[in-house]
Amino acid sequence: QSRMKSRRVYRVRRSRVSHGGKPRHTKRRVGRMPKTARGHQQSSAAKMFPPLDVHSKEDIAKAIKQIMKGPVTILLVYADWCGHCHDLMPHWDAAANSPNRTVPSMKLNEKNTESFNKALSHLNQNQSSIHVSAYPTVLVLDNKGNKITDVQGKKDTESLTQLMNRSGPLAE
């Protein structure tokens, strides 16, 4: 009996930068998502839904499209003048750029909440507007823009990363 060997497709990439006078060649597997440092397969959601920072009306339209695509969306509502928001931003950005993130994530500036609520009301007539009493606030929204829950507790890189990595499978 002959055994079939698994065939791996490689693409050779040649860089223009020479290393030690010789062109540098690298092999890269094609057709599969890259693996993490521990050898786990990376999630494709992180590439499909890049983190979105809602600053303008054009960004609101992109945010509504992202909300409709996913089962849930993690939303951070922040204010520019808020010191706690500035403390949270590096943790949020690190979690939002996690390769294993399974849900869309976005930041909404408090100046745009009224426009965001109007856009959500066009999407879903029964949707109640997002009201925030303190900054920063992390919300979990369903695919129609309804608030599922507020995220309470410690908001550091590890806990936010776990939230973004585990929320997708739980929602499905």
Q: Which one has a higher pLDDT value, 8 or 82?
A: 82
pLDDT confidence tier of residue 69, bands split at 50, 70 and 90: confident
Tokens matching residue 30 = 């094609």
Percentage of the chain with pLDDT > 90? 20
pTM of the model: 0.69
**Quick one: three-class SS letters along 64-113?**
HHHHHHCCEEEEEEECCCCHHHHHHHHHHHHHHCCCCCCCCEEEEEHHHH
**What's the alpha-carbon Rg for the chain, to the nearest Å?**
20
Residues 6+ apart with CB under 8 A from 112: 54, 55, 56, 59, 60
* Whether the predicted pLDDT of 76 surpasses 70: yes
7 contacts 31 by C-beta, under 8 angstroms: no
**Quick one: three-class SS letters along 98-165?**
CCCCCCCEEEEEHHHHHHHHHHHHHHCCCCCCCCCCCCCEEEEEECCCCEEEECCCCCCHHHHHHHHH
pLDDT at site 94: 92
**83-96 and 157-171 helices, crossing angle to 10°:** 60
Average of per-residue pLDDT values in the chain: 76
Tens-place pLDDT, residues 26-54: 555 444 555 555 454 444 455 566 888 88
pLDDT at site 107: 93
**Residues 18-31: what's their mean pLDDT?**
52
* Whether the predicted pLDDT of 2 surpasses 50: no
* Whether the predicted pLDDT of 88 surpasses 90: yes
* Whether the predicted pLDDT of 120 surpasses 90: no
* Whether the predicted pLDDT of 58 surpasses 50: yes
